[in-house]
Structure 1
Amino acid sequence: MLKQRIITALWLIPLALLGFFALEGRAFLAFISVIVALAGWEWARLAGFEGQKQRIGYAWTVVAGLLLLNISTAWVLPALYLAGIWWLLAIAMVVTFPNSIAFWGGRLGKLVMGLIIIVPAGLGLQVLKALPQGNMLILSLMLLVWGADIGAYFFGRAFGKKKLAPRVSPGKSWAGLFGGLFCSLCIAAGLLWYFQVPLVQFIPVLLGAALVVLFSVVGDLTESMFKRQVGIKDSSQLLPGHGGVLDRIDSLTAAAPVFALLLLLSGWVLP
């Protein structure tokens, strides 16, 4: 398993870096479309579809949704607002799981949820890329998410006695949540200092970073919730040793649209 993880990481990391930071315009859209298509293919399985025709068809539906939102920038904010509302509802679904299953709406409901989760995530990454200093914004988002994951792991191992959501993800703890948040805020503060951001802006930016990190945890828990309901550990085996695409971007599905929405609301303007 370790050998598989290393081999996969050796080609996956350079590919991800190339896609996120070297591509621009339509090439970047194509890159994001491939990611959301694979995520959609995996989500169809979580919705209860095992046949390849149905799963591929849903993957194309997800890509079509993303491309549709690229027709006009006027659709960007409504889509991000919708994502924000969804992730607030997702908190309640995670907290009340498994009772919340009764409100999912069966297969159709989960297919709709998949669109609301995956499409705005791809859109959020596109928004970040299009904004001034787009690559730095994407890197900042990834550093926040990675910092939260690493901090949660070590703090959870050391102090994680009280579980965060035992019915959804037994391995996560409150200590891990706060430890991950602490690490991410340290990273955010370091970035603010490096770019010589005025001290008066530190608190609002750190509050925004904390919100993004907390929603990244909700994204992680939400995918875990759907996998637990289906009874699977990984969304697929597309990435040997690492599970599926959804397993790698579950935190970003919530963090990316929330981050993009906060930036737009704070005054950043799309070109």
Structure 2
Amino acid sequence: MLKQRVITALVLVAILLPALAAEAAWPFALLTLVFVAAAGWEWSRLNGAPGWRAWVLAAAVVGGALYAAAQLALPVWSAQPSGSALSEPHTHTWGEPPVGFLVPGWVWWLAALIWVPGGGAMLRWGTAHWLAVPQVLRRLVGVLILVMAWLALVEGRSQGLNFLLSVFCLVWAADIGAYFGGRAFGKRKLAPSISPGKSWEGVIAGMLTVAVLAALWVWVDRHAAVADGPSLYSRLWTGLGPLGAALALAALTGMSVAGDLVESLVKRQAGVKDSSQLLPGHGGVLDRVDALLPVLPLSLAVMTLCHG
């Protein structure tokens, strides 16, 4: 199992790094589109629609993503887009992207509307009622969250590797901190009917780990001067102040946990351990990106609150 995990991870890194390093936008956009399509295929199978219907949902994710990119004039296939005027204040006009960004802020707040109340309702009542939701509606939810995540990946990449990597590392740090904190101090179960191993103490440890990571990253951003643009942490610090940044990061950490729990709930309702076996030793694509699905668009939503 360990050998499989290592080989799969090395193959994924070998594929991902050239796409990230490319000057053009399309290699990364195309590669991530393949991954979200695979996640759509998994989502359909988890929600009682395997076979050809799963392939239809994968195609719907691709079609929806490309249509949304075209409607938002996101330069997916052109030379690598980059946020302009990153040093200017993030002034806002409703329906227009904040300065330095490509996608209007309302898109990310629509994602927040889906994830925050929707995710909360699902975690509150989903164990008893998720399978009672019409299958078509469950599959449509999958298309929406995956399209939003892909758009956020493209927008995040346009802001620079430093920004995108800082979002990824937020999720990874929250997960690592929660794991070790939960093992050391975990007593109060977070969601025993969904994921018995998670605890409130683990969530708090994850938040503290993210706070430490953010402080270190801001220091590096200010003193190293080697990044291709500000990280998420530096932008939040500048735009919201220390307290606002801390609250935003705590909220994003909480949503990373929610994303993980939502996928765990869906798998539990489907009676499976992994979303698929597409990634040998790692399970499925959804198993690897579940926490990122809400954090990617919501990190951009909080960016619209930043001024300066």
TM-score normalised to structure 2 length = 0.80
Q: How does 1:92-107 map to 2 (within 5 A)?
A: 92-101=121-130, 105-107=133-135
Say which SS state the counterpart of residue 265 (structure 2) adopts: helix
Match of 2:75 in 1: none
Write the distance in 2 (CA, Å) between the matches of 1:90 and 1:108. 18
Cα distance in 1 for partners of 2:278, 2:104 equals: 30
* Equivalent residue number for residue 4 of structure 1: 4
Q: Does 1:248 align with 2:288?
A: yes
Q: Please state which structure has a larger fraction of its residues in helix.
A: 1
Aligned residue for 1:98, secondary structure, equals helix
For 1:141, what is the secondary structure of its paired residue?
A: helix
For 1:18, the aligned partner's letter is P
Q: Does 1:181 align with 2:201?
A: no
Retained in 1: the 8 A contact 2:57–2:143?
no
Per the TM alignment, residue 21 of structure 1 is displaced from its structure 2 partner at its CA by 4.5
Distance 1:220 1:7, change over 3 A: same
AA aligned to 2:44 is A
Q: CA deviation at 1:166?
A: 0.7
Aligned equivalents of 1:17, 1:36: Cα separation in 2: 18
Pair 24,76 (structure 1): closer, same or farther in 2 beyond 3 Å: farther
Which residue does the alignment assign to 2:143?
115
Could you report, residue by residue, the CA deviation over 1:144-196 in whole angstroms, capped at 9, with x for unpaired residues? 11101111111111111211111111111111111111101110111112223
Quote the RMSD (CA, aligned, Å). 2.0
**Which of 243, 250, 254 is the equivalent residue of 1:210?**
250
| Equivalent position amino acid for 1:83 in 2 | A
1:60 equivalenced with 2:89 (yes/no): no
Q: Give the equivalent residue in structure 2 for 1:29.
A: 29
Overall identity of the aligned pairs, in %: 41
Name the counterpart of 1:159: 185
The one-letter code of the counterpart of 2:206 is G
Say if 1:24 and 1:260 are closer, same or farther in 2 by CA, change over 3 A: farther
Q: Secondary structure at the match of 2:145?
A: helix
1:24/1:162 Cα in 2 relative to 1: closer, same or farther (>3 Å)? farther
Which piece of structure 1 moves more, 203-212 or 245-254? 203-212
| TM-score normalized with structure 1 length | 0.90
Alignment CA distance shift 1:179-1:112 (3 Å): same
- 8 Å contact 1:189–1:202 — kept in the other structure? no
Which of 141, 144, 155 aligns to 2:167? It is 141
Q: Is the 8 A contact 1:188 1:206 kept in 2?
A: no
Structure 1 gaps of 5+ residues are none
Alignment of 1:71-82 (within 5 A): 71-73=70-72, 76-82=104-110
Shift in Å, 1:66: 0.7
In the TM superposition, residue 267 of structure 1 has moved relative to its aligned partner by: 5.0
Q: Distance in 1 between matches of 2:120 and 2:306?
A: 24
Q: Is the 8 A contact 1:40 1:58 kept in 2?
A: yes
> What do the CA deviations read for 1:83-131 (whole angstroms, capped 9, x no partner)?
10111121121123323426x6221121011012211011111111223
The structure-2 alpha-carbon separation of the partners of 1:249 and 1:24, relative to structure 1 and needing over 3 Å to count, comes to farther
Structure exhibiting the larger radius of gyration computed from Cα positions: 2
Q: Is the 8 A contact 1:189 1:206 kept in 2?
A: no
Give the counterpart letter for 1:138 in structure 2. Answer: L
Q: CA deviation at 1:76?
A: 4.6
Decide whether the 8 Å contact of 1:163 with 1:172 is kept in 2: yes
- Alignment match, 1:222: 262
Looking at structure 2, the residues matched to 47 and 79 of structure 1 have their Cα atoms a distance apart, in angstroms, of 26
**Equivalent position of 1:39 in the other structure:** 39
Could you tell me whether the CA contact under 8 Å between 2:153 and 2:296 is conserved in 1?
yes
Q: Distance in 1 between matches of 2:243 and 2:221?
A: 15
Where 1:233 maps in the other structure, the secondary structure is coil
> Residue 87 of structure 1 contacts residue 254 of structure 1 at CA under 8 Å; is this kept in 2?
yes
SS class of match (2:49): coil
> Contact (CA 8 Å) 1:97, 1:168: kept in 2 or not?
no
